[in-house]
Amino acid sequence: MYDAALSDTASKFPIDIQPFRDMIEGMRLDLWKSRYRTFDELYLYCYYVAGTVGLMTVPVMGIAPDSKASAESVYNAALALGIANQLTNILRDVGEDSRRGRIYLPLDELAQAGLTEEDIFRGKVTDKWRRFMKGQIQRARLFFDEAEKGVMHLDSASRWPVLASLWLYRQILDAIEANDYNNFTKRAYVGKAKKFLSLPAAYARAALSP
């Protein structure tokens, strides 16, 4: 059924096959790669497993007819949202991933912060860890900011769900901070009340013209 739905969608919208191939490549990476030396390496992984989703969905969601933004800028914003979401997943799941022997953090940036792989496996929140996490969260928020600029140029029917999901996912970063950067043993999440409160505000913002 899923293949039929995908085939039908691909026949109705101008979807490029390359993001699908790239996503499969990202899944293959998880079979053998569990460390990332630099942010450039990590960015490529984030593109493979999440940025591709943005590129797949823009043709379906559509760009607003009255938008003056270039198609390239809208696609770049969609890519940024995928990167932001995956970086947020990584920061939320540091403890869970480490218990599986995986570290999805740039090793060179860990070293610059005076941290090692053993510090990740030990799972103790220290001042060094807090400083490191502040920088990682700041970078993820920059990608969310870039993504938000493009959401308003989507077709009006698509803006609300995309903007709402962006706002809700970005709040996971707030939850990590509220947990005093303990993403080793505490799972950061957005409570139901906050989710419901975000929806009307996102709806009102999405109703504005681009």
Domains (ranges, CATH) in the chain?
13-207 (1.10.600.10)
Query: What pLDDT digit, counting tens, does each position of 127-148 carry?
Result: 999 999 999 999 999 999 999 9
Query: What pLDDT digit, counting tens, does each position of 14-43 carry?
Result: 999 999 999 999 999 999 999 999 999 999
What percent of the chain shows pLDDT beyond 70? 100
Q: What is the C-alpha radius of gyration for the chain, rounded to an integer number of angstroms? A: 18
192-206 vs 156-178: helix axis angle to the nearest 10? 140
pTM of the full predicted structure? 0.95
Burial tier of 95 (Cβ tally within 10 Å: 0-12, 13-18, 19+): middle
What is the structure's pLDDT at 209? 74
Burial tier of 4 (Cβ tally within 10 Å: 0-12, 13-18, 19+): exposed
Structure tokens given for 174: 């707030």
